Amino acid sequence: MSDYSSEITSNLERAKTNLDAAKELLDKEYYDISASRAYYAAFYSASALLLRENIDTNKHSGVIALIHQHFVKTGKLDKEQGKNLNWLFELRGVGDYGVSVHVASGDAYRAVKVAETFLESVNRILE
């Protein structure tokens, strides 16, 4: 069992809060910000999952690489979840740093759904 139980709980709460925010921002047609919050929902979910394995990292690239290593390659998460996490990270870059490029509405809707599915998968593993 992990020594990080309070941190796991905090990360899952942050994931849910960011997912809720992503949905609200989507309804207001703030697609860039919604996609960014969707990514963070997945990021905090992934961080909680890693903490369960006593792996503590806060770098985005580290979290993504470690999720692939410990959960996707081992079959605990399916490959599509790994691809979706990578895609969310790339989309967040557009939403946060795109100057003349913005997140399309369809991508923002997909990002929220992908993040929601990722969080559900993480919760199943953590149960």
Length reported for the chain = 127
Candidates 3.40.50.12170, 2.40.50.100, 1.20.120.330, 3.40.630.10; correct CATH number of 5-126?
1.20.120.330
* Euclidean distance between CA atoms 92 and 96, whole angstroms: 6
Condensed to tens digits (0 to 9), the pLDDT of residues 24-58 reads 999 999 999 999 999 999 999 999 999 999 999 87
User: For 24-50, b where at least 16 C-beta lie within 10 A, e where not — what string?
Assistant: ebbeeebbbbbbbbbbbbbbbbbbbbb
Q: What is the mean pLDDT of residues 81-91?
A: 97
Share of the chain above pLDDT 70, in %: 98
Alpha helices in the chain (DSSP H): 5-27, 31-52, 60-67, 79-97, 105-126
Three-state DSSP at 31 gives: helix
